Structure 1
């Protein structure tokens, strides 16, 4: 399996989720299964079926997170010494040249992407256009809605 790029903050979030699943969710599911078993006939026990389904989800997510974290490549953009360049992990403030709207995005791995939190995937059209650019550069982004032009206002490594 190839390396999975993650920011340090993203790796911490995944580690916290894994810890919660192992210490909180898994014991709750085990208790729910034991409780449902105590009700007798398992063939017609909806509580038992629901608890087993939840157990499958929890165990699957634990395996997925363990696999991801074992193959994670933690990237700290400050260590790359590319002062002022947009790279993986950097937060880039851009201005839409047509509308004048300012946007700020952190470029993260596919698993960390969350547009509501302004974290965009490194494989997205906007991030691909921004990689390697510096303050003052103008980038053209080819998106499904058409071609947009943005000016890079600032690059930071939070």
Structure 2
């Protein structure tokens, strides 16, 4: 697999999640399995089966995080000389002419995207339209509710 681009903050969030899964969730699930075993017959023990399912999901997530962290390429946008252009990791302030609102997004890797926190995936339609553009440029993005027109107000490398 190729390197997975991520911001330093995204890598830190993944490391924190991995540590939490290993140090908090694993022991909690193991304890729940032990308690469920103590109830006797495992065939019809719903608590046991639920705990085993949680264990499988947690272990799968741990493997996924370890794999991603071993293939990550950390992009420090503060060290890039992008000349005012929108690049991976940049924070972009936009004016949506369609809705007459201002928005602020940071363009990040798929694993660290969180629209509520203002982080959009590099693979999203808005991010793909923004890459390579500069302050003052306008873009049009096709959305389910119709085309949306955005003007780039400011590009920040923070």
Query: Which interval holds the TM-score relative to the shorter structure?
Result: over 0.9
1:5 aligns with 2:37: no
1:50-95 per-position Cα deviation (integer Å, ceiling 9, x unaligned): 1111111111110111111111111111222113211111110011
> What is the aligned partner in structure 2 of residue 40 from structure 1?
40
1:149 CA displacement: 2.0
What is the root-mean-square deviation of aligned Cα atoms in Å? 1.4
1:109 aligns with 2:106: no
> What is the aligned partner in structure 2 of residue 149 from structure 1?
149
1:122-155 per-position Cα deviation (integer Å, ceiling 9, x unaligned): 1111111111111112222233333322111011
> What is the aligned partner in structure 1 of residue 122 from structure 2?
122
Q: Which runs of 5+ in 2 are unaligned?
A: none
Q: Which runs of 5+ in 1 are unaligned?
A: none
Aligned length: 158
Distance 1:98-1:37 versus aligned 2 partners, 3 A rule: closer
C-alpha separation between the residues in 2 aligned to 1:42 and 1:145? 51
Could you tell me the TM-score, scaled by structure 1's length? 0.93
1:9 CA displacement: 0.6
> What is the aligned partner in structure 2 of residue 88 from structure 1?
88
- Comparing 121-130 with 91-100, greater Cα deviation is found at 91-100
> What is the aligned partner in structure 1 of residue 97 from structure 2?
97
C-alpha separation between the residues in 2 aligned to 1:99 and 1:52? 48
> What is the aligned partner in structure 2 of residue 26 from structure 1?
26
> What is the aligned partner in structure 2 of residue 73 from structure 1?
73
Could you tell me the TM-score, scaled by structure 2's length? 0.93
C-alpha separation between the residues in 1 aligned to 2:70 and 2:137? 37
- Comparing 52-61 with 143-152, greater Cα deviation is found at 143-152
